[in-house]
Amino acid sequence: MGKTVRIIPVLDLKGGQVVRAQSGDRASYRPIVTPLAESSDPVDVARGLRTLYPFPEFYIADLDAIAGGVPNHEAFSRLRGMESSPELWVDAGFAEAKALETTLDVPGVSPVLGSESQDDDRLLRRFGAHPRLILSLDFFGDGLYRGPKSVLDQTDLWPRRVIVMTLAKVGSGSGPDFDRLAEIKAKAGDRDIVAAGGVRDEDDIRALTALGVSAALVATSLHNGTLTAAHLAAL
């Protein structure tokens, strides 16, 4: 068995608040209610998550920006300004070179290039070699890949870190998409593969580790207690 999977907490932002993601139906997401924080404010929730484990990084899905709205820049700045400033992986629906370049210039922020936001492989070709760029291969409720075929097929364009995002699994408690993860891992070479969607508990973490997955994006199981501080400390 390889190195244990690293847990990266997810903050889904909508209207400046953290919302609870459920099966990729973004229109229905509502502000999160969690025992870890008294509000859905991003910094409150991030601090609450850090009571479980001193997470050094967070994944941010800026749902407003992904939908073509105004990015939650203020929330990013406040999160970066926290004590023990976390690294941020940010998916803000990047579809233009200027926005991607600007984000790559921000210390401590790694932009996530979501396949669902791409019309072609232009940005991946231009920025794929940048050490902080992350690619997200996005699969929706129908199980189908969403994005340009060349982004999925031309693995030589992929950056060092690749997220396998199965939206139907998000918040579902149904377990990771092991078959798809194995398929992507098999053609990814020595790149870091990151699982996103459905991670429930220690057993899932062990199975992902055995598969050779490097990290997992997790939210629901941290808030509902199926992954506890004791579990995280033992990883």
Domain ranges of the chain: 6-234
Find tokens 């508990």 and name the residue: 201
pLDDT value of position 173: 66
Q: Name every residue whose Cβ is closer than 8 Å to that of residue 107 and which is 6 or more positions away in sequence.
A: none
pLDDT value of position 24: 55
Classify residue 218 by burial, with Cβ atoms within 10 Å: 0-12, 13-18, 19+: buried
What's the pTM? 0.93
pLDDT value of position 25: 59
For the four alpha carbons of 162, 168, 171 and 173, in that order, the dihedral sign comes to: negative
- Dist. CA 187–CA 72, nearest whole Å: 34
Q: Name every residue whose Cβ is closer than 8 Å to that of residue 183 and which is 6 or more positions away in sequence.
A: none
Asked if 46 and 60 count as a contact pair (C-beta separation under 8 A), the reply is: no
Asked if 77 and 99 count as a contact pair (C-beta separation under 8 A), the reply is: no
The CATH architecture to which 6-234 belongs is Alpha-Beta Barrel (3.20)
Packing angle of the helix pair 178-187, 202-211 (nearest 10 deg): 30
pLDDT value of position 180: 94
DSSP 184-203: HHHHSTTPEEEEES---SHH
pLDDT value of position 175: 83
- With CA atoms as reference, report the closest residue to 129 among 105, 92, 156, 109: 156
Mean pLDDT for each consecutive 10-residue tract of the chain (235 residues)?
84 93 66 96 98 97 91 93 96 96 94 97 98 96 88 98 86 81 97 94 95 96 94 89
pLDDT value of position 79: 97
